[in-house]
Structure 1
Amino acid sequence: MNSHLLDGRYRILKVLNDGEKAKTYLAEDVNLPVKQFVVKQLNFPTKNPQNLTILHRLFANKVTTLEQLGQEHDQIQKLVAYFEENEEFYIVQEFIPGLPLTDEILPGQPLREDQVISLLSEILEILVVVHTRGVIHQDIKPENIIRRDSDKKLVLVDFNTISEVINNFDSLEYTPIEQVNGNLKYNSDIYALGVVAIAALLGLPTNEISNLRSQKNRLTGEIVWQDKKLKINQKLAKIINKMVRFDYRKRYQYATEVLDDLKKLTSLEAEQQSEYPKKLFLVMTGIAGCLTLGVTAWFLQLPKSENTLQPKLYEEGVNKYDQANYEGAIKDFSQLIQLEPKNALAYNKRGDAYYRLGDYEQAQADSSQAILLNPQDANAYYDRGFALYELSKYKEAIADYTQAIKLNAQDAYAYYGRALARVQLKDNKGALGDLTKAIAIKPQYTEAYLQRGILRRRLKLRQAAIQDFDRIIKINPSDAKAYYQRGLTQVFNKQKYAALQDYSDAININPKYIEAYLNRGDIYSDLGNKIEATEDYNTILQIDPKFLAAYIHRGIHRFSFGDYKGAIEDYTEALKLDPNDAAAYNNRGNAYLELGNKKAANQDYSQAIAIDANNALAYYNRGVIRAKQKNKQGAIADFKKAAKLFQQQGEKASYQDAQREIAILQNNSVAVKTTRLKSGRREKKGSGE
């Protein structure tokens, strides 16, 4: 073997892999007794010195992160060193004595379900740490999962985050479509692990996994891997199917979610008790329906003559519910209720389906019936609480959440629901307490952190709010909402550039995040970045041509640099979408006035006032016109009305402006030529605002 020592200390013992993008060797350190390492030589696809400099810097940054990861978790392969020699880059990794998972997943020899669950749980625990540190493995496959000889634990090796620098995609069998397209997500790792689980359950080696790609549903792109011959726990199959969803947005978002579902599946306590599962909350509001409930508890209580039909109906109803076929689910649950009128679980689940369809009255009625049949069913109280919330019956909702908490004091979701209702009743202290309790019970509860952060910002506890959003980002670095809400808070703290970065991060994660574009455009406009602001507003209207606020904000932006005709066009488009938008009339009046069309301006201000009698801006601006027209009494009346409204609204600066104009007019002076017209934005507030 080559006697040359790499970096003056590593002697190559043998070649482990000779790939196009990298060569891997087993080597020994001549300075250490009996110590072996894996040395990988990376082949960069360029010899251009400038490009190499950039690649080397990226490489060094990623290696530093991996060094830290290996120190934090015993089941992550340690990165020992890296160096450059003869314009080649090398990394030195820990050698793990053991066998890869390819030696356990053998052709025609499926692993048992408990083995697969154990495998998934062990790797997911590692991924929680990996993802929390902002790293994506990118190459999870059986070859990169080693069963360590010393303790039989699984070790995750060969992170592709380094090879990402040279665009390496060697294992397409395990690679989701968004990763192939360069739109890498944290749950891309979850997809790959799900495919590993399928291979283990089917007994498929890597060279046969590619067959699954040809078995995908042509319409949906979903992997079709189950058949009638395969006997598998359907709850486990459901978890795996959610891991490998074609659309990453419908997949589990991060590893803790999969772990939670696996723990429910394997928990003996969950099988013995009729403990209700958590809710899936709707995006940005936290309101949602229940997950699938088990049938065991009620199935054992049914008369034997009914044991065949009822469970089948329930299972079909649940399957339709999970597939978002809520009407079909309601039919099945209704038929089941006819056969078994005292089946509380059927009422409960039918109520969830009605909730999903927006029929909150019927959802409330079904939950009430479930409570009547089983007063100890905490889940029914919880469900009814959300139905009552949607019906704006907040006090009644709080009472139901409180009862759910009495029946199960460790239910984080009931505390969360009660907090939302308390916010509506302005009980901010109680809401903060509930959200804090929910977080104490479930420390990874990102939605609770989000709502607490929003509430803290409203209460001007801005640093505490930022800490909540920081916590979400640490748990799930791909949570666009957290970046967006932190950006809003940074604006209140007058940290415009920090807010710009947060909005940009939110947009990078979710390229169709309209609110983030809107707020970023406003900051660009305030900073005088004409082109950047215009691009953001234009992007919104490309995504949604009927997004009214974008026309209003772009109109204000155009007005700011003298494009009054363009501003009028935008406000006119806004009024086509909403003829009762007072802000659009007020702002269009400003633009008409700048062009010298006092008549049109006066009409627009008057129309804004007719729509909204408390529109202080329109009174103020109409006062400006009346002063120009020498209508002294009319102008004073408008400024007085504006001053009163500004004072009520806490607008001190605008109140002082109005008072100054009144004083000028009463002293028979004319200074309205320097008066600045006031524009208003019809804000599209962020979630939870």
Structure 2
Amino acid sequence: MKDLQVSSESVRIVNPIGSTLQQRYQILEQLGHSGSVTTYLAVDLQVPGNLQLKCAIHRYELPDATPDRPELQLAISSAQTLYDLSRKVDRVAIVYSYFAEDGAFYIVREFVAGVPLTQELVVDRPWTQSQVIMLLADLLDVLRDVERCDASPNLVSIRQLVRRNLDRKLVLMNLPVALVVPPQSIAPDLLTVGKIAIAAATGAGADRSRSDSQFAQWQQQASQIDRPELIAIVDRLISTEPARCYPSIAAAWQAVVGLIPQFLVHQHSRADTRTEIARHVQLLVDRGTEFYEVGNCQQALSAYDRAISLDPQCVDAYCGRGNARRYMGDYPGSWEDFSTAVELDPDRGIAYIGRALAACFKPQSDYRPNDDFERGKNLLPNPTDALSYVMRGTAKAQLFDDNGAIADYSTAISLNPRLLVAYNNRGNLRQNLGDMDGALADFSAVLEIDPHSAIAYNNRAILYTQSGEFTSAVADYHRALEIQPELVSVYNNLGNNYCQMGELALAIANYTQALELDPEFAVAYTNRANVYRIQGDCHEALTDYDRAIALDPNLVIGYYNRGICHRQIGNHQAAIADYTQTLALNSQYYYAYYHRGNARQYVGDKHGAIADYTQTIYFDPNHLHAHYNRAIVRSELHDVQGAIEDLERAIAISPTFAQAYYQRGWVLSRNDDHQFALADYQRAIDLQPDYLDAYYYRGYSYHSLGDLSAAIADFSHSISIDPKYAPAYYQRGKIYTQIGDITGAIADYHQAANLYLDRGDSKTYQRILQILDRLVNRL
């Protein structure tokens, strides 16, 4: 809620029709007037596109609208209470904002088309028993919801209740703008409910005066009310004897809803009644869908729950509730709802896709979501509504048909420009495809429609992280947590962001927070383990990897990263086992082939290493190091042609990759092709001037070609780069011996012998001592 804005102007607008408040709300017409309160119909000019969102504005005359006046402070307090309440209760019209301007106080809320309850009760004939029982359920539902949100039900007035056209439910339009009173006895509320029910049952109207004795004799004028259970409920509601009164609103509500199945199903099973129930259920489903589409999942759940309570076989309600639950992070609940929908209707494509999505977030044992994605997509060949396009697009995305998914999301948006989930999903997919501008536009569009969308802030933050805009990402993650403090994935993603910033302690803290909220969040264990591994704490890392895999035995990334950790501590066989399990779960995860190839090369399994590098290249033909490493193994197996081909491919992929030139020179020199080898060594040195091995082996090739001066120069340069490089002393000593510089040769051999001894190579040390003995005898 933005801070209250108070205008310094004191001129009141007597007739505000046609004016614009807050440079946003344009007033169209007057809807009503009561006392000092006038209600207007307006449109919100800041809603994107040409949607012309209608809203209702209540104008309260204030004697003094200065910020420090008690009257204004009381108005703000009550308006904030109503704002909070409207976010929690479906039966309260949503409050968009409130402010003071031009000597008046305004509350802006959603425009609800409907019939006032007072008008509905002015009829010429009594209501039926079914109508009375549903009216009681509606009235008590409103009071119960208000009470459950810590607001006083005594503030509810019959004049503020309207029957909403969309779902035929009673909705509270407004509360008095005054200091919210503490909860009082609920007896007056239940008495009022009872009197309203009698007014409907007798056809007398709500405003007609009637004595308590006349109320007590209500049944004489309502002969159609003959069910003892209903009569007993009404009598208890209007009773003034404490012992007979209901102890609470909840108790009265429970008694009433307990009669609904008897009245609407068993006792009144006529076709018209069943049709009325079906219509009511459909209206609830439609309203739940409307709430879900704009990200208001709590109120969507409320609508779907009511639909299911009236019709436990309603597949649409289970699908809708499954979507809302998944959006709110209740993945087990989402799985159950979609599984129920599949059982009720095996041909409902959305149900299969929803179940598969829930399983992606909370894996189920012995279940492969791709089967359901494929089945669901095939059952939705020609969607007719926006949400079906979203679900089919999601299935296509999971099956790697990215372009098809984007097309479906775009169609959904064209059908419903306010469908948040379509923007979010398309943004995620564009982000994965590298279309950062498109993704940013989608997430920002969500926030224009709903500035309180924690998911959109989270998604945009991920985008900022990928783009290296870490500070912006932190800001968006924190906004998401302010809106939805227990959104576990945000803590996990914030940890990823801090990890890339190098703030490892903050990364671990956020992963830990995610795990405190959800101790079964396997991915968070894996991510925290990665940070421990980066810090060199492999014991803690392996502990977390083990926890993650225990929670989710199909967690591909868990096995893969644990394999990296095993290699880091030198346990290459364990790493090979983890990479093998990674590939058993996902044969497309080619990174595991590459790293398993490295591990196999280390333990001497050269043929296994070549097979893994070959698989890596199959998935990624431009994988530079797979070509380079395969070339090394091939050269060790004397496959000169294969090694040269791989190195040439590596050079084509990266013409500045000095190691590839060096390695090709080394392969050529081993096969006595020293002249061509010299060119490769020179290119490697040009790219990397301090390339020790390139100087050394170029010196070796010069020596083989008889250019002893050039060879001595290269060996000397090698020594200047690394004064402890024993082979260079040894080779230079050989050349000095060859040209008759015995003193120089003895000095180099002495240096080489000592360095080999320091390295623990006693065999080479002894061989050099024998050479020295012969040289000394020549002096």
Which residues in structure 2 correspond to 1:110-509 (within 5 Å)?
Answer: 112-114=348-350, 117=353, 197-202=376-381, 229-233=384-388, 235-243=390-398, 245=400, 321=431, 324-330=434-440, 345-368=455-478, 370-371=480-481, 376-509=486-619
Q: Secondary structure at the match of 2:591?
A: helix
> 1:195, 1:311 → 2: CA distance?
21
CA drift of 1:353 comes to 0.9
CA drift of 1:570 comes to 1.8
Aligned residues: 417
**2:775 aligned residue:** 669
Does the CA contact (< 8 Å) of 1:623 and 1:636 recur in 2? yes
Q: Which moved more, 1:383-392 or 1:316-325?
A: 316-325
Does the CA contact (< 8 Å) of 1:632 and 1:665 recur in 2? no
Equivalent of residue 748 in structure 2, options 629, 632, 635: 635
Relative to structure 1, the CA distance from residue 475 to residue 374 in structure 2 (aligned partners, 3 Å threshold; closer, same or farther) is: closer
> 2:375, 2:484 → 1: CA distance?
42
**1:538 aligned residue:** 648
> 2:456, 2:367 → 1: CA distance?
39
Segments of 5+ residues of structure 1 without an aligned counterpart are 1-109, 133-186, 204-225, 253-306, 672-689
CA drift of 1:571 comes to 1.9
CA drift of 1:486 comes to 2.8
> Deviation string for 1:277-334 (max 9, x for gaps)?
xxxxxxxxxxxxxxxxxxxxxxxxxxxxxx9799998678557545533245446656
Amino acid at match of 2:752: F
Amino acid at match of 1:428: C
> Deviation string for 1:662-686 (max 9, x for gaps)?
6457646389xxxxxxxxxxxxxxx
> Deviation string for 1:405-453 (max 9, x for gaps)?
2222111111111222112221111111111111112211222212222
CA drift of 1:643 comes to 4.3
Does the CA contact (< 8 Å) of 2:696 and 2:718 recur in 1? yes
> 1:417, 1:620 → 2: CA distance?
49
**1:290 aligned residue:** none
Amino acid at match of 1:427: D
Does the CA contact (< 8 Å) of 2:353 and 2:395 recur in 1? no
- Normalized against structure 1, the TM-score is what? 0.50
Does the CA contact (< 8 Å) of 1:626 and 1:634 recur in 2? no
Segments of 5+ residues of structure 2 without an aligned counterpart are 1-345, 406-416
**1:51 aligned residue:** none
CA drift of 1:352 comes to 0.8
> 1:339, 1:670 → 2: CA distance?
91
Does the CA contact (< 8 Å) of 2:528 and 2:541 recur in 1? yes
> 2:444, 2:638 → 1: CA distance?
61
> 2:722, 2:465 → 1: CA distance?
35
Q: Which moved more, 1:453-462 or 1:112-121?
A: 112-121
Which residues in structure 2 correspond to 1:614-633 (within 5 Å)?
Answer: 621=731, 629-630=741-742, 631-632=744-745
> 1:434, 1:375 → 2: CA distance?
24
1:594 aligns with 2:704: yes
1:549 aligns with 2:659: yes
> 1:457, 1:396 → 2: CA distance?
26
> 2:354, 2:424 → 1: CA distance?
29
Higher relative contact order (CA 8 A, sep 6+): 1
Does the CA contact (< 8 Å) of 1:524 and 1:530 recur in 2? yes
> 1:433, 1:322 → 2: CA distance?
31
CA drift of 1:198 comes to 4.5
Does the CA contact (< 8 Å) of 2:349 and 2:376 recur in 1? no
Q: Secondary structure at the match of 1:201?
A: coil
CA drift of 1:370 comes to 4.5
Does the CA contact (< 8 Å) of 2:498 and 2:506 recur in 1? yes
Relative to structure 1, the CA distance from residue 324 to residue 507 in structure 2 (aligned partners, 3 Å threshold; closer, same or farther) is: closer
Equivalent of residue 571 in structure 1, options 665, 673, 681: 681
Amino acid at match of 1:500: I
Relative to structure 1, the CA distance from residue 599 to residue 423 in structure 2 (aligned partners, 3 Å threshold; closer, same or farther) is: farther
Amino acid at match of 2:392: A
> Deviation string for 1:461-495 (max 9, x for gaps)?
33322221221232233443333333332333323
- Normalized against structure 2, the TM-score is what? 0.45
**2:635 aligned residue:** 525
Which structure shows the higher helix fraction? Answer: 2
**1:581 aligned residue:** 691
CA drift of 1:366 comes to 3.9
Does the CA contact (< 8 Å) of 2:492 and 2:510 recur in 1? yes
